[in-house]
Every structure is written in C-alpha cells, then in structure tokens.
Amino acid sequence: MSGAFPISSSAFSTMGIKSIQNTIISKSDSGKKLARQIDGQRFAFTARIITGKRSDIYGELMAFIIKQRSRKENFTIIPPEIEDARGNETGTVLVNGVHAVGDTTIAMDAFAGDGAGRFKAGDFIKFASHDKVYMVVADVTSSSSAATVTIEPPLTTALADDSVVTYDNVPFTVHLTNDIQEFGAIGATKDGDVLYEFQMDVEETL
C-alpha cells in the first residue's frame, strides 16, 4: 500500500465511473443465450485533475504518482463526487449475523432515525476488514433499526456479525492501470507560471 490520494490539493474537474465484469456469452442454434462470468466485478475511475501550478497542486501530485511505481502499488482514494451517500443514514450501521461469499442480501442493524431513505440505490458501502466496495442496488426504507440491504456484486469475502458498515467517505483501494503517467503543460499564467493537467485511470484492487 502506498498511501492515500491527496484529494485535498488535487480536486477533480471530471470523473467517469466504470463497472468492469468480464462475461463470456454464446448462443445456441435455437438462439438461447448462455452467459458465464469469469472473474470478479471491480470498479474503475477515469479522473482529470483540475488545472494548476506545480507549486500549488502538481508538485505533491507528481510525487504521489511516482511513488506508485507505475501499476505496482495500491493506494486508497475517496472520489469527492461520490463521497456522500444519497441516503440520509447517520448511525453506526452493523452487519447482523454471518454472511457467506456470494450473498447479495445483507441483514444490517443499528440504523438510526425513522427509516426514510436510510440507503438509496447507487450508494457505495464497504465492510470492515474488506477491500472490496459494493453498491446498494435498492432503496432501504425500513422503519425499524434493522433492514436487509441488497448489494452488487455478490460478497467476495464472508462477513462476520457486527462488522461495521462504511457508507460515507468510502475509500476505494485501487491501482493505476497505465505504465506511462503524463503531466501535460497546457499553458501559463500571466506571470509565466506553467499550468499542468493530469488524467489518471485507476481500477479497484481485489
């Protein structure tokens, strides 16, 4: 692991979110589709960093990217555009019971509030001691302190009872996907300071 991405100084100007899940599809003579997935799902991002001067932004950013040694190291990133959940939950949510690899419905408890919009479809969550990030795929509106949450992809690691669920500021463990990282000079300020631009592609590390 090689640190946390320096979001504080390197805000994004654009970001694209990808879901990668390799699937083999074939069709029978009758036209029936046969599908098989051959590896686990992972999220990926393409982000363009805001234009700035080396003294303000790009010195720290360049150093961080070089520390990754191309695609070798892993680091964590909390994408600012999706750091806040769509739901309005504020409690310390816990896994309720033991869940096995492959489960997509996860019992949780210790929810706070009246249950209106606890989690919403499209929220990202992460379980304690897990690297994988999951997405909530159905709104959770239970009025009790317990609810069943539907996620994708299926669990890649078993869950223990009372594991803490992170739903705001969810950190993704990622790596760069390209061996060449380029910091482009795209102009200069009126005082002659060079302005840089940088785009990176990262993929979740499983």
pLDDT at 43 over 90: yes
DSSP state at residue 81: G
Q: Are 139 and 119 in contact (CB under 8 A)?
A: yes
As a whole number of angstroms, the longest Cα–Cα distance in the chain is: 70
Nearest to 47 by CA among 154, 193, 172: 172
d(CA 51, CA 157): 39
**Span 57-72, average pLDDT:** 92
Task: Quote the pLDDT of residue 23.
Answer: 86
Tokens of 163: 């594991």
CA distances from 175 to 34, 135, 204 (A): 32, 20, 7
Angle at alpha carbon of residue 125, lines to 124 and 130, rounded to 5°: 130
Q: How confident is the model at residue 114 (pLDDT cuts 50, 70, 90)?
A: low
Q: Is the per-residue pLDDT at 113 higher than 80?
A: no
Asked if the bond preceding 80 is cis, omega within 30° of 0, the reply is no
The answer to whether the Cα torsion of 143, 120, 21, 30 is positive or negative is: positive
Kindly report, residue by residue over 123-162, the tens digit of the pLDDT. 999 999 899 999 999 999 887 889 999 999 999 999 999 9
Residue 81's nearest CA partner among 135, 112, 110, 124 is 124
Q: How confident is the model at residue 31 (pLDDT cuts 50, 70, 90)?
A: confident
Residue 54: exposure state from Cβ atoms within 10 A (0-12, 13-18, ≥19): middle
User: Amino acid identity, residue 126?
Assistant: K
Task: For residue 41, give the DSSP letter.
Answer: -
Q: What is the mean pLDDT of residues 101-119?
A: 87
**How far apart (Å, rounded) are the C-alpha atoms in residues 62 and 77?**
16
- Tens of pLDDT along 154-193? 999 999 999 999 999 999 999 999 999 999 888 998 999 9
* % residues pLDDT > 90 (the chain): 61
Q: Which amino acid is at 66?
A: I
Beta bridge pairs of residue 164: 94
